[in-house]
Amino acid sequence: MTAPFDRAPSALHNTQLSFDSLGTPLSDVTFVIVDLETTGTRAGQSEITEIGAVKTRGGEVIGEFQTLVKPEHSVISPFVARLTGITHAMVDDAPSISSVLPSFLEFSIGAVLVAHNAPFDIGFLRSACERLDYHWPAPTVLDTVTLARRVVGRDEVRNHKLSTLAAHFGTQVEPDHRALSDARATGELLHHLFERFGGYGVTTLEELSTVRQSGWAKRQAKSHLAK
């Protein structure tokens, strides 16, 4: 589930690269693409109702994680129920976030987290950790919204919503506001974007971190043509 975010997000958040990991080829990086469904848009006030995640390495899916989550205090509004298809009846017997979160953190340990509009999903996960007094590992985070804005222009797409980009690239999985489906679609989108970045000579995680810079695409195009 994605939602509006007040700040312009950078593509790479909380980057903690050691000297050993500088220049790591993207094909050697383990990514966990995550998507959440929630009762609302504000972390700390709304709650998670579903977590879906796909673990990939070298373009191959090596694991998946999915669970409904029973909200402890929030109500699933009729609008959210229509949007996601998740109702109170579906989550009544689901595990609580306190039991689900450790499993997800273990699933994603050591991986780069990826989400479409990452500040939303990562904000909810971090908020849940803080509320439950769980350690937040502060992983490297990639935001496919920002990545797409750097290499997919408005002359190609009308916006950078997940559904629009999935249709543009022809992903096999269509996003449907369910966490695992959206995570799968985002994973496919990520690798389509990697192909675009490869055209600019960007093939490592460290190089990818520079896409947050203003005017990146024009500079990269000039640099790549000059080689």
Residue 104 phi, psi (nearest 5): -65, -45
Residue 125 phi, psi (nearest 5): -65, -45
The rounded distance, in Å, linking the Cα atoms of 115 and 164 is: 15
From 109, 103, 128, select the one nearest 46 (Cα to Cα): 128
From 42, 51, 29, select the one nearest 107 (Cα to Cα): 51
Q: Catalytic residue numbers? A: 177
Amino acid at 201: G
List, in sequence order, the alpha helices (H) in the chain: 78-84, 88-91, 97-108, 118-132, 144-151, 162-169, 179-198, 205-208, 216-226
The rounded distance, in Å, linking the Cα atoms of 31 and 157 is: 26
The token pair at 127 is 């908020």
